[in-house]
């Protein structure tokens, strides 16, 4: 991938109910809090939160976790 990946494009979902999580703040703040530099991101990354307003309405703060999916090798060349 060429160029810098925009952290605002990072998909985020709840690990409990699978609902998309819409963040009011910039996701770069969560990433920096976790010690992950925004320049280390790419389209294979996902933010997963430990709850959301849909399944945990009694909470106001949900802890994020970054997941990086590994790329699959091109199966056409595997024998």
* Structure confidence by residue, pLDDT tens digits, 18-27: 999 887 677 7
Whole-angstrom distance, CA of residue 55 vs CA of residue 16: 7
Q: What pLDDT does 75 receive?
A: 47
- For 79, counting Cβ atoms within 10 Å of its Cβ (0-12 exposed, 13-18 middle, 19+ buried), the class is exposed
Could you tell me which residues are beta bridge partners of residue 68?
45
pLDDT band with cut points at 50, 70 and 90 for residue 35? confident
- Mean pLDDT over each residue of the chain, to the nearest integer: 81
Residue 1 pLDDT more than 50? no
């Amino acid at each position: 991938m060429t160029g810098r990946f925009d952290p605002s494009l990072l998909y985020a979902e709840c690990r409990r109910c699978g609902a998309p999580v819409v963040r009011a703040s910039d996701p770069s703040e969560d990433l920096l809090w976790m010690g992950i530099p925004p320049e280390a991101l790419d389209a294979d990354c996902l933010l997963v939160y430990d709850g959301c307003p849909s399944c945990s309405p009694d909470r106001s703060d949900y802890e994020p976790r970054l997941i990086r999916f590994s790329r699959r090798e091109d199966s056409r060349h595997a024998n």
